Structure 1
Amino acid sequence: MNNFDDLFEQQPQNETVPRKPEPQAEKPKKQWWQVKEEKQRKEAYAALDGVFGAFSEGRGDMKAYLDTQSRFPFHSARNAILIGQQYPAAQRVGGRKEWESQGIEVLEDEKRLPIIILEPGKAYRREDGSVGQNFYAKEVFDIAQTTARDEAQPQVSYDDRLLLKGLIASSPVPIRAVDELPQGRGAVYDPEQNAILVKKGMDAPDIFRCVSLEAANVQLAKNHEGYSREAEGYKAYAVSYMLCQRYGVDVKGYDISRLDGVLQGQDPREEVPAALTDMRDTFKEMNGRMARAMGLTRASRQKEQER
């Protein structure tokens, strides 16, 4: 060993000094309104899950949904359900700013009783590459919750000829009058003629009911490849009912209770919402054509925003 080796042997080894963990940046605390919105959003989703689950189990209330949707054609099926769940008698809803823009105020006692609906937010991309949609809660109020609650709401009635003019315009195929139809039916779609045949001599309400049913079936088949009238005809029945409700046509002959179980066994997260959306979209499409043909402006129908 040379004279310097012992120096290296005696050299103390450097000790690794443990580093103190860097403090993690604290997440900013949520503002009160963010906490409130998140709570409202979760409650809205829970309410929808409850309704979809009830339909899937065969104990849904289809009439409650259809009656509300018929008054709110510009709102999604989900929002129509939410409105109906929270305020069954709602006729016209809007946010506080929407009401204020019309010179109408939400009543002080009603400000703590908003109707919660879901508004679309930013889209996002999932891990599998598909695009998802965020939603956030929005507070709206029915006209009965505002200073306009005591204003007389006009009762709208439509002339029979105007109503049938609108119905003809709502149909995706021509409508032709014939002397007779098989099996005592009032209207039937003839695929060879690509037209709805309607029996002569019926009164306007009967024409409206039977033709709207056939037109809804044709529209659904047009919008959805593989549509089965036998399996999915209940959707057209629901659309016909909503159109009658919308335009004041007697609906006593409709047995909507038989639709309560049609979605039994279907997936409450996918299939049930999809079926209700099919009804709503078809109703909205046909209602839009009717309204334009009848010369109804958006303001005269309802001051609503599409959801």
Structure 2
Amino acid sequence: MSSFDDIFTAATKEREEQRESFIKESKENREKCYALAEEKVSDVAGDGKQFQAYLDTQVRFPMHTPNNVLLVMAQKPDATQIGDVNFWKLKHVFVKNEEKDSPILILEPGEKYTREDNTIGTYYNAKKNYDVSQTTAKYRNNSTRTYDLDHLISAIAKQTPVPIEPVDELPNSNGALFDPESNTIKLRKGLENGTAIFQILTIEMSHAMLAQGKHDYDRNENSLTAFSSSYMLCKKYGVDTKAYNFEKMQEPFPDMESSDVKQELYVIKKIANDLSQRLDRDLKHDKKPVEKSDGER
């Protein structure tokens, strides 16, 4: 055999070894993601403080699925912006050498496949991402955009999913209450605290979205979802959140399977995102946002 044959044989062997190594690493990373997500969703389901931390992380990553938000929490809870190596290269920054072995793994859908029962499934691939703090980026945007409360409440009035009806009184001195029978939100007249108005209306708007016009809607079954969606909206728009106390919730999702908890997290995200999209239709015209640093949250 010539020396050239040896070169090509060695190259073929090396490519095959690299391929096998890649497949092995991919499988290990995928299994690691499944294990991390299961561990973290258990933490979130059983501890109010962890649940609040999840909501905060979901607000920072609105485009990511709850499962991937759980993965970010498990690996780098202080992450603010993530992307793969190519994402950062396009921004003319690079992942630091000392950080390359500490990626944030998330799951992304890959190829479709057919199960034995002829249903279609999806393969998921573990993708390596890195937070901006793991790159050479010199500037990090750690500010939070906040809005004037008058603009926020004006946006609610214009973009509410159901009509808001001012009334003189409400049961138990409530400030606002969604009424499934009339499919309206009753708002008590005379309220002057803009922060409280935003909070109570976003809770009731969440109930209205969850009810979907059903007259027999049970708000008690969806109280945590509406409360959490409202909290996420407050965090996004820089509205005070001291009224939202999650730490006293010892078990936000007691006796629930992890898949059911993830479904609840998905619904919370969806309601918050749907309402946010409505408000943004009006707020995009707001030309005077106030910048608020992370330390002031």
Q: Distance in 1 between matches of 2:40 and 2:94?
A: 32
- CA distance change for structure 1 residues 223 and 93 in 2, over 3 Å: closer, same or farther? farther
Query: Is 1:109 aligned to residue 59 of structure 2?
Result: no
Q: Distance in 1 between matches of 2:159 and 2:246?
A: 22
- CA distance change for structure 1 residues 196 and 226 in 2, over 3 Å: closer, same or farther? closer
Query: Is 1:265 aligned to residue 255 of structure 2?
Result: yes
Work out which of the residue numbers 165, 171, 194 in structure 2 matches 1:204.
Answer: 194
Query: Is 1:255 aligned to residue 245 of structure 2?
Result: yes
Q: Distance in 2 between matches of 1:146 and 1:54?
A: 29
- CA distance change for structure 1 residues 135 and 59 in 2, over 3 Å: closer, same or farther? same
Displacement of 1:33 in angstroms is 2.6
Unaligned stretches of 5+ in structure 1? 1-27, 301-307
Q: Distance in 2 between matches of 1:217 and 1:273?
A: 20
For residue 4 of structure 2, what is the aligned residue in structure 1? none
Are the aligned partners of 1:170 and 1:287 in contact in 2 as well (CA < 8 Å)? no
1:1-307 to 2 correspondence within 5 Å? 30-54=19-43, 58-59=46-47, 61-151=50-140, 153-168=142-157, 171-199=160-188, 200-222=190-212, 228-268=218-258, 270-295=259-284
Are the aligned partners of 1:120 and 1:136 in contact in 2 as well (CA < 8 Å)? yes
- CA distance change for structure 1 residues 284 and 149 in 2, over 3 Å: closer, same or farther? farther
Unaligned stretches of 5+ in structure 2? 1-15, 290-297
- CA distance change for structure 1 residues 51 and 223 in 2, over 3 Å: closer, same or farther? farther
Are the aligned partners of 1:71 and 1:91 in contact in 2 as well (CA < 8 Å)? yes
The residue type equivalent to 1:219 in the other structure is: M
Are the aligned partners of 1:217 and 1:229 in contact in 2 as well (CA < 8 Å)? yes
- CA distance change for structure 1 residues 219 and 149 in 2, over 3 Å: closer, same or farther? farther
- CA distance change for structure 1 residues 168 and 92 in 2, over 3 Å: closer, same or farther? farther
Higher mean displacement: 149-158 or 62-71: 149-158
Displacement of 1:94 in angstroms is 1.5
Are the aligned partners of 2:180 and 2:214 in contact in 1 as well (CA < 8 Å)? no
- Structure 1 runs (4+) deviating above 4 angstroms are 223-227
Q: Distance in 1 between matches of 2:165 and 2:172?
A: 18
Q: How many residues align?
A: 269
Specify the SS of the correspondent of 1:31.
helix
The residue type equivalent to 1:93 in the other structure is: I
1:106-140 deviation per Cα after TM superposition (whole angstroms, max 9, x unaligned): 22222222111110112222222332222111111
Are the aligned partners of 2:183 and 2:213 in contact in 1 as well (CA < 8 Å)? no
TM-score of the two chains, using structure 1 as the length reference: 0.78
- CA distance change for structure 1 residues 261 and 224 in 2, over 3 Å: closer, same or farther? farther
The residue type equivalent to 1:244 in the other structure is: C
Specify the SS of the correspondent of 1:118.
strand
Q: Distance in 2 between matches of 1:223 and 1:35?
A: 50
- CA distance change for structure 1 residues 152 and 274 in 2, over 3 Å: closer, same or farther? closer
Displacement of 1:105 in angstroms is 2.1
Higher alpha-carbon Rg: 1
TM-score of the two chains, using structure 2 as the length reference: 0.80
- Name the one with the larger helix percent: 2
Q: Distance in 1 between matches of 2:75 and 2:213?
A: 32
- The alignment's C-alpha RMSD in Å is 2.7
- CA distance change for structure 1 residues 197 and 224 in 2, over 3 Å: closer, same or farther? closer
Specify the SS of the correspondent of 2:145.
coil
